[in-house]
Amino acid sequence: MDVKDELDAVGLLCPLPVLKARKRLSQMATGEVLRMLADDPAAVIDVPHFCNESGHEMIGMSEDGPVQIYLIRCR
């Protein structure tokens, strides 16, 4: 998978990770993948909900210690 862009939202609290992801995805082409890092506990709920509501595809989520790593395909 080819990641086009990365967003470091570590240290940001709800709703900032999702707002920054929305802005970044709006600048990307359909099919491109955004890798987002976050450590807000609410992100595990907010990011999938954002993807579902906005039509973007969350293609993966993993954890690296306290940091969650989200892969989102722009739609």
For residues 70 and 7, give the distance between their C-alpha atoms in angstroms, rounded to a whole number. Answer: 10
Answer whether residue 15 shows pLDDT above 80: yes
Catalytically annotated residue among 14, 28, 69, 71: 14
Domain holding 8, by residue range, is 3-73
Phi, psi of 54 (to 5 degrees): -95, -10
Helix, strand, or coil (residue 65):
coil
Residue 30, domain CATH? 3.30.110.40
pTM: 0.95
State mean pLDDT over 60-73.
97
Share of the chain above pLDDT 90, in %: 97
Question: Which residues, including other chains, have CB under 8 Å from residue 6's CB and lie 6 or more apart?
Answer: 34, 35, 36, 37
Predicted local confidence at residue 43, as pLDDT: 96
pLDDT over 90 at 1, yes or no: no
Query: How many separate domains does the chain show?
Result: 1
Mean pLDDT on 59-65: 96
What pLDDT score was predicted for residue 41?
A: 95
Question: How far, in Å, CA of 22 to CA of 74, rounded?
Answer: 10
Is residue 74 flagged as an active site residue? no
